[in-house]
Amino acid sequence: MRVLVTGGAGYIGSHTLVELLGQAHEVCVLDNYDNSSPEVLNRVRQLSNGQLTDYVGDVRDGSMLDQVMAEFKPDVVIHFAGLKAVGDSMTNPLGYYDVNVRGTLQLLSAMDRHNVRRVIFSSSATVYGEPEYLPYDEAHPTNPTSVYGRTKLVAEQIITDWSRTHDDACAVLLRYFNPVGAHASARMGEHPDGVPNNLMPYIAQVAVGKREALQVFGDDYDTPDGTGLRDYIHVVDLARAHVAAVDYSKRQTGAQVFNVGTGQSYSVHDMVKAFRTASGQPIPCVIKPRRAGDIAAMQANAARANVEMGWKATHDLNDMARSTWDWQSKNPDGYDSAS
């Protein structure tokens, strides 16, 4: 199939490109490189055979979208392009609504102009908010606590309403848990700009000597070791969920929501321990107060994705730690490292 990937040069998008090309899909990327580098696509091309075209442009630009859709004629769109830093979203709410919500509106309008009826959307487990029960299933109430989370929920609702306007439309709303890890080639991985907000890239930068110590945000939660529990998912498993969703969108209609996680959870100490083993580095830690807005634990019930899309995570915690270390140690400056 012909798959248009917005935000395809990003962390999750780039891994998805390799999996799509590996399944003989024809792929086109639209990215404005707001949070990525054109070097990413060089690496994707080195790792893949198959047809990959790309455009530099903004998903909010309707005429750009018209050009891409007229020339590439996608069967389906995977919509990754967006802003994702929870803290930034609280200080720049309008910027987040503009990219994440207006970008989605512009994309759907362009899809209507070009009769494209299938979309896969990058949503987040953060739409659930404080758990009423765990593991979260897709029926769990949604109550996001950050602006970022609200932009994702609003975008989900807009896409759902859009899907009701066409009998043949299919929208797959994927709620990702905590993506970590890197490609087995160590040629692609996560490249955060500045100080990492997320746990795994921070640990990796401590291990490689770029930062002194991991700050553990709270060890007094009501969890077995007092630190936060999360459902970490290997980015290659997550990428493969998109390939499964593309196939699923051929045989389904309507808006369909799926959790994309492993169904297991690990604490901050578990992650540090796994990374010490993978890297052989000491990884000093200092205990700090809880981070504002954090919840104690979250975990996916990912049964629906398994039953209906035939998708299941296959990488374990060691794969997550080892691949992150390989990527970080071979590319200490991410995509700015010599290729």
Instruction: Supply the residues annotated as catalytic.
Output: 148
Distance CA 104, CA 144 (A): 19
Stretch that binds ligand WQD, among 16-24, 96-104, 185-193, 195-203 (CB under 6 A): 195-203
Best CA proximity match to 172, nearest among 97, 262, 80: 80
What is the per-residue binding string for ligand NAD in 151-190, x denoting contact by CB under 6 A? -------------------------x--x-----------
Residues in the chain: 339
Stretch of residues binding ligand WQD (CB under 6 A), selected from 39-47, 98-106, 211-219, 254-262 = 211-219
CA-CA distances (angstroms) from residue 44 to 13, 47, 185, 190?
Answer: 10, 5, 11, 14
136 interface partner picked from ligand NAD, ligand WQD, none, CB below 5 to 8 A per type: none
100 binds ligand WQD (CB under 6 A): no
- 58 C-beta neighbours (distance < 10 Å), count: 17
Binding mask 141-180 toward ligand WQD (x if CB under 6 A, else -) reads: -------------------------------------x--
- Window contacting ligand NAD (CB under 6 A); options: 76-84, 111-119, 218-226, 239-247: 76-84
Stretch that binds ligand NAD, among 33-41, 160-168, 272-280, 320-328 (CB under 6 A): 33-41
Spacing of C-alpha 303 from chain mean position: 19
Q: Which of residues 292-321 bind ligand WQD (CB under 6 A)?
A: 294
* The entry of ligand WQD, ligand NAD, none that residue 13 binds, CB within 5 to 8 Å by partner kind: ligand NAD
Distance CA 276, CA 259 (A): 29
C-beta of 137: minimal distance to ligand WQD in Å? 18
- In the chain, the amino acid numbered 303 is A
Q: Between 166 and 304, whose beta carbon lies closer to ligand NAD?
A: 304
| C-alpha distances out from residue 206 to 185, 232, 284, 290, Å | 22, 19, 8, 20
Q: How many helices (H) and strands (E) does the chain have?
A: 12, 13
Q: How far apart are CA 314 and CA 46, in angstroms?
A: 25
Binding positions for ligand WQD, 219-238, rule CB under 6 A: 228, 230
Is 84 an interacting residue with respect to ligand NAD (CB under 6 A)?
A: yes
